[in-house]
């Protein structure tokens, strides 16, 4: 609301070498997910401007940003609110088997951060080798319309000062956090002085909330979007209102999980399902592939990742726990199944949003136009991400701090 995220994205994209514009937009769009669904409205137009600035079709920019935000959701170098949501749902589902089990929001961080780099490279290759050629053939038949003047991507002086202030606030915030964590007796540490299993990690969502509030307020005060204290609640209101659907979802999910626990249906299905998989000798890799493909297809109808996970986690997590597959591993697998096909379904409101931006430059564009451009990226991302996950699991790399893949 203070304008920090758009300024940060513009600052990053305005200095990009034209040869790397696709990769930078992809990785930046993934990082923009810290703003939630607002990332679509911020990144798609910025990406279109960035492509126009380097003499390329803005349609490609819209596709790259849309796929990076929607088709690679829940991954990135910066933890997001989705991590906390998934961790809560995984913990609740794991309690069916082990009431003491706890999943922290950073349990998939290493895999998520690495996935963002791999997926950005995957998007770049498919866009440059396939999508760009398709767009070129479309524009050869009907040139795009660029009637509006090209906006200036450079930051204003006040925005530059705001970014410097936000940077200083970032250094101070994490510096103080480190100092508070260093003492062995710190209340932020867990038993035995552990940092991995500690209040710090278990409440990382609160830490991130305080961090983004701090840097946002500093930036807002410097650029003038915050002039008095009463401006802060007004700027927070739109963000809080965006959480209403999540609160409603959690209410429904909590009832669903409670009924599952009360009826013992979760245990029955998990035990029977695990027994069936054990009898047929299904290897973990086979289970992962089948589950990813099934959820990916289901995702074409149910587009909300949180709602989808609330539906499948109470069965999938405990069932795989009985096969010695950790809840954090199941959660990482779900991320792969949920994200790539998100960008394919016209049932998503953000599909319509992306199409609306594209129609500004190509009025005849329709659902088929966007789907034909997104489809190759989504399919390649699904395969690449699944292969990365399988290799990660086979090698036994940690998914996050103190969390083994197997």
**How far apart are the C-alpha atoms of 342 and 68, rounded to whole Å?**
11
| 52 Cβ contact list (under 8 Å, min separation 6) | 58, 61, 146, 150
Q: How far is CA 393 from CA 238, 273, 288, 310, 333, in A?
A: 40, 22, 10, 24, 10
Q: Look up the pTM and report it.
A: 0.76
Q: How far is CA 296 from CA 111, 279, 289, 355, 384, in A?
A: 19, 26, 10, 22, 14
Q: Tokens in use for 185?
A: 């007796």
Would you give the DSSP letter of residue 33? G
What is residue 53's predicted lDDT score, i.e. its pLDDT? Answer: 77
Provide the residue-wise pLDDT of the chain in tens; the chain has 406 residues: 566 767 776 676 666 677 888 998 898 888 888 777 778 888 888 888 888 877 888 899 999 999 998 877 678 778 877 888 888 889 988 988 888 888 888 889 899 999 999 999 999 999 999 999 988 888 776 666 665 655 666 778 888 888 888 889 989 998 998 898 888 788 888 777 777 667 777 777 788 778 878 888 888 888 887 887 777 777 776 656 655 665 665 566 567 666 666 766 656 666 666 666 667 777 889 889 988 988 888 877 776 767 778 878 888 888 888 888 899 999 999 988 888 888 888 877 788 888 888 888 888 888 888 899 999 999 999 999 999 999 999 998 999 888 888 7
Output phi, psi for 20, to 5 deg.
-110, 15
**How far apart are the C-alpha atoms of 271 and 204, rounded to whole Å?**
33
List residues bridging with 398 in a β-sheet: 404
**Which of left, alpha, beta for 193 (phi over 0: left; psi -120 to 50: alpha)?**
left
């Amino acid at each position: 609301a203070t304008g920090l995220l758009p300024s940060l994205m513009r600052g990053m994209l305005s200095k990009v070498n034209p040869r790397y514009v696709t990769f930078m937009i992809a990785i930046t769009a993934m990082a923009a997910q810290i703003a939630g669904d607002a990332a679509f409205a911020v990144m798609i137009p910025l990406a279109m401007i960035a492509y126009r600035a380097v003499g390329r079709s803005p349609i490609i920019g819209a596709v790259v940003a849309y796929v990076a935000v929607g088709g690679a959701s829940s991954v990135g170098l910066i933890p997001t609110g989705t991590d906390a949501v998934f961790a809560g749902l995984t913990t609740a589902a794991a309690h069916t088997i082990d009431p003491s089990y706890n999943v922290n929001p950073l349990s998939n961080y290493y895999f998520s951060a690495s996935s963002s780099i791999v997926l950005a490279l995957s998007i770049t290759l498919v866009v440059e080798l396939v999508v760009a050629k398709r767009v070129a053939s479309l524009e050869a038949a009907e040139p795009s319309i660029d009637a509006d003047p090209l906006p200036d991507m450079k930051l204003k002086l006040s925005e530059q000062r705001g970014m410097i202030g936000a940077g200083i606030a970032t250094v101070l915030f994490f510096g103080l956090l480190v100092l508070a964590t260093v003492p062995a007796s710190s209340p932020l540490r867990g038993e035995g002085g552990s940092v991995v299993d500690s209040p710090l990690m278990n409440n990382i969502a609160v830490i991130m909330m305080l961090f983004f509030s701090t840097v946002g307020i500093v930036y807002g005060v410097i650029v003038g979007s915050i002039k008095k204290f009463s401006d802060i609640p007004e700027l927070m209101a739109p963000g809080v209102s965006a959480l209403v659907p999540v609160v409603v979802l959690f209410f429904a999910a909590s009832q669903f999980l409670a009924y599952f626990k009360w009826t013992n249906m979760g245990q029955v299905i998990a035990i029977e399902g695990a027994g069936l998989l054990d009898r047929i000798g299904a290897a973990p890799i086979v289970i992962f592939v089948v589950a990813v493909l099934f959820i990916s297809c289901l995702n074409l109808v149910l587009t909300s990742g949180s709602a989808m996970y609330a539906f499948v986690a109470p069965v999938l997590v405990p069932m795989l726990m009985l096969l010695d597959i950790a809840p954090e591993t199941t959660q990482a697998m779900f991320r792969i199944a949920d994200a790539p096909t998100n960008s394919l379904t016209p049932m998503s409101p953000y599909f319509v949003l992306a199409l609306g931006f594209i129609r500004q430059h190509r009025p005849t564009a329709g659902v088929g136009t966007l789907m034909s451009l997104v489809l190759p990226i989504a399919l390649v991302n699904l395969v690449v991400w699944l292969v990365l996950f399988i290799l990660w699991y086979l090698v036994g790399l940690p998914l996050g701090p103190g969390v083994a893949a197997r």
